[in-house]
């Protein structure tokens, strides 16, 4: 008997084939210009992505981790300060806070959407708190209405970690325009992905974005070699910008295709015993970066799918307050019971615009077969 056709967790080759002529033209244009840094494509991408998000400004940077690090610095966050965030996220969220010398203070997440639980936010705020950093995880936006209200009561800016939320919406507004500023990653596997590392910071605060731009370009002042603050080199190259401009034109259609695949999963898996499905909170429009189910038998389910040629992933197997690199934040097991339980149960199934519906149905059938609900 032949082996079943393999289904990857993401298929960037399939995406490339849909847009190859546009990508080839964009790359050829940059090569012909020889403007590989600070080229016109970088400036155009900043304008176009700001328009997409609904902000007035954007600054392209080298990657998503730099976006967080630089945005924190531009907010004036440093030693002695605290930043309230979540532990159910990629390490970069907490890493950036520690890199500026501040302390991450972790709050637990909502069990249904995996995002910051606003009801637990207030108790985490202290006189040292300087900023709130919610994460829009798996493409689902955090409850920015409630989080924003807490921030306003305490005079705290809200910085969105939108690395997985390109095109996601909360009450009709897109991620990137829901807080004072937002940070994006364009890692290749993201909904809007480069062909290498890339990132972006968005805001409608012109002075803030000017500080971001200065830090990202060696702290440069008005004149060449006039370096007025300690900065870094985090410039996005023109080739990546040109590629991202092509993909940005397709992003809304790709988001709808992701949403369609998510609907097939949810319809096909509805009622499966022992599996908890992801839900959209009222007022949210998820961009479905990942379709993440929960199962107490997660590892066995993942092995079952692998045997049948179906890839899956665990994002994330350990909440970051328990990572050795976060030891300076003082986290310990039991601090965040929901985040810790979720880390033992989450499993991300393949979801991308090029995934055929029949493959989604096949994956769902295998999940149901494993849990005995077929």
User: Over the stretch 199-210, which tens digit does the pLDDT of each residue have?
Assistant: 999 999 999 999
What's residue 374's pLDDT?
47
What's residue 254's pLDDT?
98
What's residue 2's pLDDT?
63
What's residue 370's pLDDT?
96
pLDDT-based confidence at residue 93 (cuts at 50, 70, 90): very high
User: Over the stretch 281-300, which tens digit does the pLDDT of each residue have?
Assistant: 999 999 999 999 999 999 99
- Average pLDDT of span 170-176: 98
**Fold of the domain built from segment(s) 251-371:** 3.90.1150
Using a pLDDT cut of 70, give the percent of the chain over it: 99
Q: In terms of Cα–Cα distance, which of 67, 64, 66, 107 is closest to 87?
A: 107
User: Over the stretch 234-262, which tens digit does the pLDDT of each residue have?
Assistant: 999 999 999 999 999 999 999 999 999 99
In whole angstroms, give the CA distance from residue 161 to residue 72. Answer: 11
What's residue 372's pLDDT?
86
- Average pLDDT of span 228-239: 96
Q: Is the pLDDT of residue 1 over 60?
A: no
Q: Does domain 12-245 have CATH number 3.40.640.10?
A: yes
What's residue 13's pLDDT?
98
What's residue 316's pLDDT?
97
Give me the sheet containing 82-86, strands edge to edge: 103-107, 82-86, 129-132
What's residue 203's pLDDT?
98
What's residue 373's pLDDT?
57
- Mean per-residue pLDDT over the chain, rounded: 97
Q: Is the pLDDT of residue 146 over 80?
A: yes
CB 201 within 8 A of CB 67: yes
Angle at 246 between CA 243 and CA 247, to 5 degrees: 90
What's residue 224's pLDDT?
79
User: Over the stretch 116-137, which tens digit does the pLDDT of each residue have?
Assistant: 999 999 999 999 999 999 999 9
Scored b (16 or more CB within 10 A) or e, 190-200 reads bbbbbbebbbb
- Average pLDDT of span 156-169: 98
Check if 12-245 and 251-371 are the same fold: no
- Identify the weakest region by mean pLDDT among 215-224, 241-250, 333-342, 365-374: 365-374
In whole angstroms, give the CA distance from residue 153 to residue 175. Answer: 22
In whole angstroms, give the CA distance from residue 145 to residue 143. Answer: 6
Angle at 270 between CA 269 and CA 273, to 5 degrees: 80
Domain range annotation of the chain:
12-245, 251-371
């Amino acid at each position: 008997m032949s082996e079943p056709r393999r289904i990857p967790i993401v298929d960037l080759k399939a995406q490339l084939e849909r847009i190859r002529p546009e990508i080839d033209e964009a790359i050829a244009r940059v090569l012909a210009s020889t403007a590989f840094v600070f080229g016109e494509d970088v400036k155009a991408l900043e304008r176009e992505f700001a328009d997409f998000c609904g902000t007035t400004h954007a600054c392209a940077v080298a990657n998503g981790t730099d976006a967080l690090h630089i945005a924190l610095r531009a907010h004036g966050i440093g030693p002695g300060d605290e930043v309230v965030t979540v532990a159910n996220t990629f390490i970069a969220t907490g890493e950036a806070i520690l890199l500026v010398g501040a302390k991450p203070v972790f709050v637990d997440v909502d069990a249904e959407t995996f995002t910051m639980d606003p009801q637990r936010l207030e108790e985490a705020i202290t006189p040292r708190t300087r900023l709130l950093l919610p994460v829009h995880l798996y493409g689902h936006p955090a409850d920015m209405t409630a989080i924003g209200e807490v921030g306003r009561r305490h005079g705290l800016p809200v910085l969105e970690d939108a690395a997985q939320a390109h095109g996601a919406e909360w009450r009709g507004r897109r991620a990137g325009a829901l807080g004072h500023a937002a940070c994006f990653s364009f890692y290749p596997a993201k909904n809007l992905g480069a062909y290498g590392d890339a990132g972006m910071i968005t805001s409608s605060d012109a002075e803030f974005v000017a500080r971001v731009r200065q830090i990202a370009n060696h702290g440069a002042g008005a004149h060449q070699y006039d370096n007025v603050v300690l900065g870094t080199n985090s410039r996005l190259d023109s080739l990546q910008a040109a590629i991202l401009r092509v993909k940005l034109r397709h992003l809304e259609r790709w988001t709808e295709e992701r949403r369609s695949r998510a609907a097939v999963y949810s319809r096909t898996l509805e009622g499966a015993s022992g599996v908890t499905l992801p839900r959209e909170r009222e007022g949210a429009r998820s961009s479905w970066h990942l379709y993440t189910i929960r199962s107490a038998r997660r590892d066995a389910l993942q092995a079952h799918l692998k045997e049948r040629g179906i890839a899956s992933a665990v994002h994330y197997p350990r909440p970051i307050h328990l990572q050795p690199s976060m030891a300076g934040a003082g986290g310990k097991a039991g601090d965040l019971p929901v985040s810790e339980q979720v880390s033992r149960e989450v499993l991300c199934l393949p979801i991308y615009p090029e995934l055929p519906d029949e493959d989604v149905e096949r994956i769902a059938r295998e999940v149901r077969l494993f849990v005995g609900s077929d």
